[in-house]
Amino acid sequence: MKFSQMEYQRIDLPAVKERWSEILQAMAQAESFDEHYRLFLDAQALSDHSSTMATLASIRHSVDTLDPFYKAESDYMDEIMPQLQELANQLAEVLLATPFLPEYEDKLGEHFFNALRLQKKTFDPAIMPDLAEENKLSTQYDRLMGGAQVEFRGEVYTLAGLGIFLEDADRATRREAAEASWGFMQANQAELDEVYDKLVKVRHRMAKKLGYDNFVQMGYDRFGRTDYDHEDVARFREGIVRFVVPLAMKGFEEQRERLGLDELTYYDVPFRFLSGNPKPQGDKDFMIEQATRMYDELSPETSQFFRLLVENELLDLEQKPGKMPGGYCTFIDNYQMPFIFSNFNGTSGDVDVLTHEFGHAFQVYNSRHLIGEQRWPGMEAAEIHSMGMEYIAYPWMAYFFGDETDKYYYDHNVSNIAFLPYGALVDHFQHWVYENPEVTAEERRAKWRELEKTYNPWVDYQTNDYLNAGGRWQKQGHIYSSPFYYIDYCLAQICAMQIFKRSLEDRDELWQDYVEICRVGGSLPFTEILKVGHFKNPFDPAVVQEAIGAVKQYLGEVDTSRIS
């Protein structure tokens, strides 16, 4: 079914609660596992319906935050989502207490129930008002960013729309565009500070009500991280500082020399080449045409699937007024299909969307046969599918970039290296914030700036007061809406770099492993998914060094004089 034909109906919460209660009562009286499991599937169907309606409302609101109908529906979802979560928690309690638990574990796997235990641990009816407040505050941030109207040289742009000017060959244009973009952030700093302070406070309050020392472990538990903890992540960050930061610094120094600059400022960083950054050679229709060719040739599975997305209007790729910034992939349960959202702006990032978000979509489509909670893996595993697809798609990049393909390869790898320290910085900052929930907004910004000098020592903000005072993080939406969801990108990037290395050695075997980790969905925890795909564990610093080494070797072989 085409996305435009998917009917939205506001969730009838009283009716859902009544039916849910009937199912749980019947489960209590079930005399066999088969009967109990059938009722469990009834609950799954009811949950899928609610999820579908919530997802449709969310997509349509993000596509047009100015639409009053879906704005109201988004507000409604913020209100009722904690109550739906309470129903899920009731089911978790029934499943964990049932005498049929051994049969369930045989059928659904042990990880499902370990995750249910964490779900139960992170929810209590006492925090429902807090959850509703958290949802509203996250939505407030999204609307502020999505509704940005920034004046630049006589025209009005969204934040995403300014992206093309940040890569302009003219340095004055880059500087003015950067100042306009960060000027919007500075002009709204008071609201950004207030929203985040309230988010930190409400999350800390929930954690204390549930018996946690602070929100850190609660945040980990909410993501279902059953096989690693904050100490593992801290060691991983140390590996990034040790092995990646020096390589990233080298890349920025090479960029400064290549551009012939005395200093590489914050508005120069997005501009990597005097001849201009690699750009796709056509508009949205051209991009879809080339992506279709690419996925037709990659495999029968990807061919059929990408054509399904296009035919059913399941890609919304172009920027427009009122559209939220960024990109994502989500899943519409009742229709068993994903949806890809983006903001094309004429940069190489547009191509990355067609590989990165497609990787997410391909994964969840291949695990659609699983129950709802298992269709998506944990975030760190999910990002392997997306970042890995960026590398798997390498042989077809000439379709998009033509003569600039080598430049794209170089830029993509240098960007991936530079991202890792930034991602670790975001994670370290969040740990500090939630370990110190009472600090002021000024103290948070000062801490960010302090950490920036360890993880991103190359940054030069010139006379930009907002950035020099530590405001850069406020443009990173994950920090507001998904606390502790960012180190996932870094863990997955190390795995994606393994995909790059393996694709050069045995592409057929790699593809088989990639498809397999897509099919297992979230039925296994992160480290077990790695084993299924024959990937090495990134928590080992030696693995970080090895993965970075493969990219470093590639970059050392590039003749940069040809792509300057």
56 sits in the region (left: phi over 0; alpha: psi -120 to 50; else beta) called alpha
**Secondary structure letter of residue 324 according to DSSP:** P
Tokens representing 354 are: 């067609």
* Of the candidates 61, 52, 55, 56, the residue with the CA atom closest to the CA atom of residue 142: 61
CB atoms within 10 A of CB 101: 13
Helix (H) or strand (E) holding 205: helix 189-209
Tokens representing 34 are: 């088969």
Tokens representing 17 are: 């609660």
Q: Nearest-5° angle of CA 201, CA 205, CA 206? A: 120
**All residues at 6 or more sequence positions from 402 whose CB lies less than 8 Å from its CB, including other chains:** 281
Would you call 285 exposed, middle or buried from its count of C-beta atoms within 10 A (0-12, 13-18, 19+)? exposed
> How far is CA 485 from its chain centroid?
7
CB atoms within 10 A of CB 15: 10
* Of the candidates 224, 246, 244, the residue with the CA atom closest to the CA atom of residue 236: 244
* Of the candidates 257, 238, 555, the residue with the CA atom closest to the CA atom of residue 421: 238
Name the 3-class secondary structure at 201.
Answer: helix
Would you call 153 exposed, middle or buried from its count of C-beta atoms within 10 A (0-12, 13-18, 19+)? exposed
CA R_g for the chain: 23
Tokens representing 57 are: 């409302």
| Separation CA 480–CA 195 (nearest Å) | 8
Pairing of strands 328-332, 337-344: antiparallel
Backbone angles phi, psi at 265, to 5 degrees: -90, 175
Q: How far is CA 430 from CA 12, 352, 425, 466, 480, in A?
A: 37, 27, 9, 19, 10
| Separation CA 439–CA 197 (nearest Å) | 9
The amino acid occupying position 200 is V
Blockwise average pLDDT, block size 10, the chain, 564 residues: 97 98 98 98 97 97 94 94 94 96 96 93 94 95 91 93 91 97 97 98 98 97 94 95 95 93 96 91 96 98 98 96 90 98 93 96 97 94 96 97 94 95 98 98 98 96 97 96 94 96 94 97 96 95 92 85 74
- pTM assigned to the model: 0.89
Instruction: Report helix, strand and coil shares of the chain as percent, to nearest 5.
Output: 70, 5, 25
pLDDT of residue 292: 98
